Each structure stands twice: as structure tokens, then as C-alpha cells.
Amino acid sequence: DQQVKQNSPSLSVQEGRISILNCDYTNSMFDYFLWYKKYPAEGPTFLISISSIKDKNEDGRFTVFLNKSAKHLSLHIVPSQPGDSAVYFCAASGNDMRFGAGTRLTVKP
């Protein structure tokens, strides 16, 4: 069962532009959401999170938006840099936790 979905397997953007990665979930019991970044041959590393009591959390170039009614969250990276090229995983947790399948972001110089 795919309780957390990242429908875009890949995304390509130009350096300096905004990257928007999307994530949808189905389980209304999830109340805490995280984004992880993964480089090749390394494990995922935590990037940013948001609680369901908020609709936005910002950390430098990274902002996560949460739309609870739509069960949708997104990660915005602005401006995008070549070093941001990686696979991004969305995760949802509560009494359970699940990861999405990931979106491969490529930022072109």
C-alpha cells in the first residue's frame, strides 16, 4: 500500500530557479512530515520537517508547505544549486511511518 506518493520520479531545473518537489499521503493519522536528501552511495540525510499544526516551515533556501485538507506537501528550493542534485524522499509519520519512492532532482548549471 502506497500511503506516501511522490508521483514525479525525476525533475530537472536550471541553476538559480525554483525547484518544487511534491508529495501526497493518504493516511489522515500522519501528523509529522519530513524531507530527506540522498546522494549516490550514501544514506539519506534529514533536510527539513513540518508538524501538522503548521502549514509552512522555512530553513534557508528550503521551505516545506503542508496542505492538510489536500493531504499534500511540497518542498521548495530557491535558488536551486547544482549541489542540490540528489534524490529527495518525503516521509510521513504519526503512530506509523512511511517513505515515498523519491524524486531525482537534477539542477543544471
Partner 1 sequence: DAGVIQSPRHEVTEMGQEVTLRCKPISGHDYLFWYRQTMMRGLELLIYFNNNVPIDDSGMPEDRFSAKMPNASFSTLKIQPSEPRDSAVYFCASSFAGDGLRQPQHFGDGTRLSIL
Which residues of this protein are in contact with partner 1, per CB under 8 A? 6, 31-32, 34, 36, 41-46, 49, 51, 89, 93-102
Q: Which is nearer to partner 1, 62 or 99 (CB)?
A: 99
Nearest-approach distance from CB 69 to partner 1, in angstroms: 21
Minimum CB–partner distance for residue 38 and partner 1 (Å): 8
Q: Please report how close the Cβ of residue 100 comes to partner 1 at its closest, in angstroms.
A: 6
DSSP lists the bridge partners of residue 46 as: 36
The residue among 13 and 90 lying less far from partner 1, judged by its C-beta, is 90
- Cα dist from 87 to 31, 50, 56, 71, 102, whole Å: 23, 19, 22, 22, 6
Least CB distance from residue 48 to partner 1, whole Å? 9
Question: Which CB atom, from 79 or from 97, has the smaller least distance to partner 1?
Answer: 97
